[in-house]
Amino acid sequence: MSYHSLRDAVNDLERNGMLLRIREEVDPDLEMAEIHRRVFDRQGPAILFERVKGSPFQAVSNIYGTFERTAFLFRHTLDRVKRVIELKKDPTAFLKKPGRYLGAPFTAISALPSRNWFGAPVTYGTTLIDQLPQIKGWPMDGGAFITMPQVYTEDPDAPGNVMQSNLGMYRIQLSGNDYVPNEEVGMHYQLHRGIGVHHSKYNTLDRPFLCSIFVGGPPSHAFSAIMPLPEGLSELTFAGMLAGRRFRYLRRDGHLLSADADFVITGEILKDMRKPEGPFGDHLGYYSLAHDFPV
């Protein structure tokens, strides 16, 4: 089964008794996060918040909350992807076990990113940043954050080449501090990361550093953004393999959009501007303090 959207995955989890709906209104300021943590600590189900205070949109959490549920989401593709990764790491494995790896090249080729020329649901409407669920996880957080974004940038040495792009997960601060509401968001990343390498290159060029932030979409997309992949295997191809369906994208005004995302935030990373980002309650058990990061 290939998920075409996050909604497909939510429905599948619910059919199999792995998702809980909360129909009462829930406040994204601390309350949602506390509910999530308590359910996660008990290895409970995924959670669909149907009514998020201050937002017209629903939110889902904890879909990767247990190893078993994560394996369930990728149950139809995990073994095939494992074979491709094994072969990528050690091409001689094909000579040792040709039967095991015979289909691996087809798995990889059939998962290459596919451009959509005729629009996609993600383009059917627009909204403002402050209309998204403004989720604040801890009392001292500097504002609301997207904690599982997929941040897409392209190498300026290969503009338009999706196979040399970077899809990473770097936290995004939506509000608070000195950010201009609905116009600026905070970007938290280090220069040694893929996006940081792109940033350093753009600093030497007289070209805008375009960026797209995908929220939601099939579960494989967010998962791919955090994976330490073998050299030469793009995150978009890996997302396609893990989904059993190519990563579909389109272009608008120079930006690449994930056709299957729930939301896409597009903009330009300002090469010479920094603003305080944070504090942020880190998963390691302490607050990352406010420091200057890109906008």
Which residues are the active-site residues?
282
Rg for the chain, CA atoms, rounded: 19
- Structure tokens belonging to residue 165: 């792009």
Diameter over CA atoms, the chain: 59
What is the CA angle 246-57-52, rounded to 5? Answer: 135
The answer to whether 197 and 154 have CB atoms below 8 angstroms apart is: no
Q: Within 13 A of 150's CA, how many CA atoms are on the CB side?
A: 28
CA distances from 183 to 101, 173, 269 (A): 49, 12, 12
Angle between helix 235-243 and helix 78-89 axes, rounded to 10 deg: 140
